[in-house]
Structure 1
Amino acid sequence: MADIKGILFDKDGTLVDFNATWSGVADFMALEAAEGDRARADRLLAAAGLDPKTRRFKADSVFAAGTNLDVIELWLPQLSRAEQITAVERFNVITTEQGAALAVPLPGVIDALGALHARPYRLGVATNDSTLGCERTLATLSIAQLFDAAYGYDAVANPKPAPDTVVAFCDLTGLKSIEIAMVGDNRHDLEMARAGGCGLAIGVLSGTGTRESLSPIADVVLESVADLPGFLAARG
């Protein structure tokens, strides 16, 4: 078994309550893209993965797993590339400011991160949010000091599920990829772990992913990051 010395975490749905944090932000973004047209905004949200009955985003949907550019390309395909980049910059501002301001940590996660940092594991965040948005959220939750680095989609050449963030974290920490565990609530988190050669791919059920969607690619599926210190301690 791999000797795990570092852990990369997805952010939304893994450290942060996805629906509590992002439902309002997504609605704001959709209304802006729809120029205030409520019906059109609802159609955009459904296309991005919002279940109209549960009002929750589906596992591996564009909004749950993609970048702001992915959302723009889905919602506003008529824009030129230059116009898309301008729209992404606007959405980055929205997600940075509102995502941080509305961030709700998942139960037990902050204590778990403190315990892991004290052991000590090298900790990082790998998200398809922007790097600045991630850093703002970690600072808002008063946990930024626990992490060696935060990597947004714009911090690497290719975001998740590409292995670039794993490579960057290895370069920073001096660890081998086999010594790193990747923890996330969607398949693209675990696909990055596999592509990057991580020693463990750990799924959590605290976000949009389900046991059915995560189990085929995960080494283990936990209820949440709150269970991670105990799991790693029992593993030895």
Structure 2
Amino acid sequence: MTKDKTIAGILFDKDGTLLDYAKSWVPVNYELARIAAKGDEALARRLLIACGMDPDTGYVTPDSLLAAGNTVEIATGMVEAGAPFTVEALREKLDHLFANSAALAVPVTDLATFFAGLHAKGYRLGVASSDNERSIRETAKRFGFDRYLDYVAGYDSGYGTKPEPGMVHGFCAATGLAPHEVAVVGDNNHDLHMGRNAGAGLTVAVLTGTGSPQSLSAASDHCIPDITGLEAVLR
């Protein structure tokens, strides 16, 4: 039996995996830079560049702070680049922005139908994101897949942060699965390295975020265009 056939649980990243990163988060990135710069346009541009986004094109560098960082890491990077806040004060503002941004998110597919299908096949399901837990739950509720989740973990949920293994171990504790029975699905190396560090049975990269086949190949067992191709991989 191959390790693919032993998978009984799937732990998804959120942004760039369940949600189209460019459509959902590039507009939010412009807004967070404006907030962090207190409206100073020149400073906002510098903050975006420092955190990995081209302010003219909206291109976000794979595995940069804006691609993979949690709120504390993004706030720290922006304060170090000149944002006139303390890290804690900026973190609070950004967490509020991110939670409210769930209303603007664009899913990569009909997530309610997608999760319902996996649930019907017996998979245990979870979301582990570098976003805050409130934002994950708001997103799941908005798109109607909250009822299918066995587990939710944000950077502030107490399981540690990516690429540490804690979120995967928390999923295992919540579901009774062993790490080798879990597939981790994500759009950047923080997700995939989290899976590898936890001993996950499968790491699957998707291309709806900031990564590319080249940047994701080393840490993934499979690289697929988007999550709709996942069941073929699991079979």
TM-score by length of 1: 0.92
Matches within 5 A, 1:76-225: 76-77=79-80, 83-98=86-101, 100-107=102-109, 109-225=111-227
> How has the CA–CA distance of structure 1 residues 228 and 110 changed in structure 2, closer, same or farther, with 3 Å as cutoff?
farther
How far off its partner does 1:197 sit? 0.4
Post-superposition shift, 1:174?
Answer: 0.4
1:40 lines up with 2:43 in the alignment? yes
Local SS of the residue matching 1:139: helix
Equivalence for 2:62: 59
Tell me whether 141-150 or 129-138 shows the greater mean CA deviation.
141-150
CA–CA distance in structure 1, aligned partners of residues 57 and 118 of structure 2: 34
Q: Report deviation, 1:232.
A: 1.4
1:152-199: CA deviation from partner (whole Å, max 9, x where unpaired): 001124211000001111111000000000000000100000100000
Residue 146 of structure 1 deviates from its aligned partner by 1.5
**Number of matched residues?**
230
Structure 1 contact 179–199 (Cα < 8 Å) conserved: yes
For 1:39, the aligned partner's letter is A
Cα distance 1:53–1:91, how it changes in 2: closer, same or farther (>3 A)? closer
One-letter amino acid of the counterpart of residue 26, structure 2: S
Distance in 1 between residues matched to 2:145 and 2:111, nearest whole Å: 10
Give 1:148 shift: 0.8
Gaps of 5+ in 1: none
Distance 1:192 1:12 in 2: 16
Structure 1: distance between partners of 2:186 and 2:81: 33
Among the aligned pairs, what percent are the same residue?
39
Shift, 1:77, TM fit: 2.7
2:11 is aligned to: 8
Q: Does 1:75 align with 2:55?
A: no
**In 2, Cα distance between the equivalents of 1:113 and 1:186?**
21
State how far apart, in whole Å, the 1-side matches of 2:165 and 2:217 are. Answer: 20
Q: Which letter does structure 2 place at the counterpart of 1:154?
A: D
**8 A Cα contact 2:159 2:170, kept in partner:** no
Partner of 2:31: 28
- Tell me the TM-score normalised to structure 2 length: 0.93
RMSD: 1.7
- Confirm or deny: 8 A CA contact 2:47 2:81 kept in the other structure: no
Q: Which runs of 4+ in 1 moved over 2 A?
A: 51-54, 107-114
Gaps of 5+ in 2: none
